[in-house]
Structure 1
Amino acid sequence: MNGRFIPRLLSCKPKPNGLRGRYRNFGSSNQIRKNAPTGVVFMNMGGPRTVPETGDFLSRLFHDGDLIPLPFQSTLAPFIAKRRTPKIEKQYEDIGGGSPILKWTQEQASGMVKILDELSPQTAPHRPYVAFRYAHPLTETCLEEMKRDGVTRAVAFSQYPQYSCSTTGSSINELYRQLIKDSKDQPPSIKWSVIDRWPTHPGLIEAFAVHIERALESYDPLVRSKVILLFSAHSLPMSVVNRGDTYPSEVAATVHAVMKRLNYRNPYRLVWQSQVGPSAWLGPQTSDALKGYAKKGVNDMLLIPIAFTSDHIETLFELDLEYIEEAKEAGLTGVKRVESLNADPIFVRAFGMHRAYASTCNQAPRPEVRPVAINSGNSTSPQSSQSRQRVNKKHTRRKFSKR
């Protein structure tokens, strides 16, 4: 090993669903200190913990060209963020004064590393870290903490079950930038692996299925089997979908796996929320589906936030305060939402015990890891990790969100 830091960026080409067996190293240390902690970095978009943090959160979000590519981004981003801040601040006030996503991420992380300590003692102790893209703790803060703790190996673990270049891709790119900046004057000290998606992970599917079963128990037995399951995921512009982003197919794979686990006992449909702007997005929209079924006389529908693992503004405000409250005002009494996974022991335990996840910590360092370009997703042949490729940022994906 020459010790050079040659990171590998994520490819947007379709891959088999489920927890990835192909882990990506961002670099490797020449030596891994015995008994040094193994870091497990939980990456997500994040959200403002208090209402006054909303402006900074939106500013970082609109400055991210991977998520929202804008012309004259450095000029337009602060202008758009400033205009949207009052509206989004009001939404956070309505859900209790801030996003709970940090709380839930910390609880999930704490429970999971305890299980990993039992399952993989050879890489223990495992230490949890949170790296949010647009809210504190930011990626650079996470890396500083890991350095102080003497971490020599780490797993970058995306909290988006379904991969998109605009979400997971953006988080990985930010980690790459921070590591490059940190390694200019010194060799890399941490061996990195990445879990970039897990849409059909058994623990995820079981947790969703159990939550759905619990929610169905609240309906009258006479109508229970007729309740329509509306799997709601964050939408994506069709311009992004047509360039090959794998997100829609991976969301559909999650839905299929959950329904298979439930033996297809209820009618169901995949719907999409959080559309922004007049351009074409994935459809049907969640709100339109609710209205359409209501016109057909359907009263009982169960909303399932299938692309999220914890509560945040899109579940607590958009689903609970917009869609369900609107349904009640329209006279629908049977529209409910499945509880988010949050820190449910079934979810945390099942995921932490999965052998494939634990084995990530044991990946042997590679002599050299080269970059893989983010591409349109149209290529069918795998890219060789031994060939250098220029990172083409114009093909990164866009997905709008406001956690």
Structure 2
Amino acid sequence: MAARGLRDGVSGTTGFDAVLFLSFGGPDEPDDVRPFLENVTRGRGVPPERLEEVARHYLHFGGVSPINALNKAMIASIETELDRIGLNLPVYFGNRNWHPMVEDTLRRLHADGHRRVLVFPTSAWGGYSGCRQYDEDIARALAALGTDDMYLRKVPQYWDHPAMTASWADAIVAAKAELPEELRDDARLVFTAHSIPLSADRAAGPPAEGGHLYSRQVAAASAAAAEAAGFAEFDQVWQSRSGPPRIPWLEPDICDHLETVAERGVRAVIVCPVGFVSDHLEVVWDLDNEGLEKAQELGLGYARAATVGTDQRFITMIAELIAEQCSGDVAFRLGMTANGAPCALGCCEPVKRPTSSGGS
């Protein structure tokens, strides 16, 4: 009954009057770094030494994450595109973990008279952290608002949209051209996405689909982008793991994989961060710092493909997703949710985290 009600709740509803651009958040100054990381990791059992390590990553860039500025640039481009296609919808910015917090943004939306809001999350994927947790953000913000006169619909997952594939493919081709000419034809294409615990990947997706939705989506998106870029082969690896070492996560890690391909005689790699929509800190630290340094240590040619960011095709895709939802009766697609309720019963349930026993 719950699943049927959810699907009914995201069908046949028009008259949206605003867009909520919902993202992860990041610190704006050094004093923000530790409180931000505590927000991100609350209840996850992340060892203090890991927090200190990640804090140093942010402080390496002056304590400022690039994500907020990148999101603001995307919002400006979306507003321009919405104007171009004749949709007079203001775009509001809210975050899960740092200011502007989604609860504050929803209060602004309500105070400004908006009652029917489309939500665009900056994650293209299924899974708990990539999809379900954004639903929880919406539900939490509505609960904090304390009224029952708002309707928020999250747009469906968009990882397989042709605009994404085309943008990734062009970025791969452009990165290949950055390599010395003698290395280009033999360069190994390597896709990266954010690692998650294996238990979270098993729980990703509707129970009837057997789990592993996130890793299956990343693999399919990588295969489509590789084919579009003219590559017959590619590797799928992971980055940015942050949990206790005793918990198994998706592997191999990008730096470990660079060692492996170097041992096989590969002379150059093209790294495409397929799992991320913009060059936020995890991309620039893990790939432009640690990945690059590892490649230089191994004598590997190294080129990193751009993220989709403000690529006009990606911006047009977002505007089209919004226009589709405003056009009238729309078919349910995975990830579409109403007022923060999950899109399907049991879909992408959060995994129970083991309690800490003191060691890591």
Distance 1:228 1:357 in 2: 37
Distance 2:71 2:352 in 1: 24
CA contact (8 A) 2:255 2:294 kept: no
Aligned partner of 1:107 in structure 2 is 73
Query: How far is 1:263 from its partner?
Result: 3.5
Aligned partner of 1:170 in structure 2 is 133
Aligned partner of 2:236 in structure 1 is 270
Aligned partner of 1:335 in structure 2 is 302
Secondary structure of the residue that 1:319 maps to in structure 2? helix
CA contact (8 A) 2:124 2:130 kept: no
Aligned partner of 1:344 in structure 2 is 311
Query: How far is 1:234 from its partner?
Result: 0.8
CA contact (8 A) 1:320 1:337 kept: yes
Secondary structure of the residue that 1:230 maps to in structure 2? strand
Aligned partner of 2:176 in structure 1 is 216
After superposition, give the CA deviation of every residue in 1:263-311 in whole Å (9 maximum; x if it has no partner).
335x311111123323322222211210001112212001111110111
* Equivalent residue letter for 2:41: F
Matched, 1:229 2:189: yes
Matched, 1:359 2:327: no
Cα distance change, pair 301–319 in 1 and its aligned pair in 2 (3 A):
same
Identity %, equivalent residues: 25
Q: Point out where structure 2 has 5 or more consecutive residues left out of the alignment.
A: 204-210, 331-337, 354-360
Secondary structure of the residue that 1:251 maps to in structure 2? helix
Distance 2:264 2:66 in 1: 36
CA contact (8 A) 2:21 2:94 kept: yes
After superposition, give the CA deviation of every residue in 1:284-343 in whole Å (9 maximum; x if it has no partner).
2211210001112212001111110111221111111112112212333x1221122332
After superposition, give the CA deviation of every residue in 1:82-113 in whole Å (9 maximum; x if it has no partner).
x5543322211223431110111111122112
Matched, 1:396 2:359: no
Distance 2:226 2:98 in 1: 34
Query: How far is 1:149 from its partner?
Result: 2.4
CA contact (8 A) 1:231 1:304 kept: yes
Aligned partner of 1:158 in structure 2 is 121
Cα distance change, pair 141–26 in 1 and its aligned pair in 2 (3 A):
farther
Cα distance change, pair 24–201 in 1 and its aligned pair in 2 (3 A):
farther
Higher mean Cα deviation, 161-170 or 83-92?
83-92
* Equivalent residue letter for 2:162: P
Secondary structure of the residue that 1:197 maps to in structure 2? coil
* Equivalent residue letter for 2:64: G
Query: How far is 1:248 from its partner?
Result: 0.8
CA contact (8 A) 2:11 2:329 kept: no
* Equivalent residue letter for 1:175: I
Aligned partner of 2:28 in structure 1 is 49
Which of the pair is proportionally richer in helix? 2
Cα distance change, pair 372–44 in 1 and its aligned pair in 2 (3 A):
closer
Aligned residue-pair number:
337
Distance 1:221 1:175 in 2: 49
Distance 1:231 1:24 in 2: 36
Cα distance change, pair 345–307 in 1 and its aligned pair in 2 (3 A):
same
Cα distance change, pair 293–162 in 1 and its aligned pair in 2 (3 A):
same
Distance 2:5 2:284 in 1: 31
CA contact (8 A) 1:237 1:279 kept: yes
Cα distance change, pair 344–217 in 1 and its aligned pair in 2 (3 A):
same
CA contact (8 A) 2:20 2:92 kept: yes
CA contact (8 A) 2:124 2:159 kept: yes
CA contact (8 A) 2:103 2:144 kept: no
Aligned partner of 2:93 in structure 1 is 130
CA contact (8 A) 1:26 1:191 kept: no
Aligned partner of 2:216 in structure 1 is 249
Distance 1:290 1:198 in 2: 29
Secondary structure of the residue that 2:123 maps to in structure 1? coil
Aligned to 1:95, which of 58, 61, 68?
61
* Equivalent residue letter for 2:219: A
Cα distance change, pair 340–95 in 1 and its aligned pair in 2 (3 A):
farther
* Equivalent residue letter for 1:316: V
Distance 1:23 1:60 in 2: 34
Distance 2:266 2:180 in 1: 15
Matched, 1:149 2:117: no
Distance 1:216 1:10 in 2: 48
Q: Over the residues paired in the alignment, what is the CA RMSD in angstroms?
A: 3.3
* Equivalent residue letter for 2:251: G
CA contact (8 A) 1:341 1:347 kept: yes
Distance 1:305 1:24 in 2: 34
Distance 1:134 1:153 in 2: 24
* Equivalent residue letter for 1:93: L
CA contact (8 A) 1:101 1:311 kept: yes
Aligned to 1:40, which of 8, 12, 19?
19
Matched, 1:205 2:165: yes
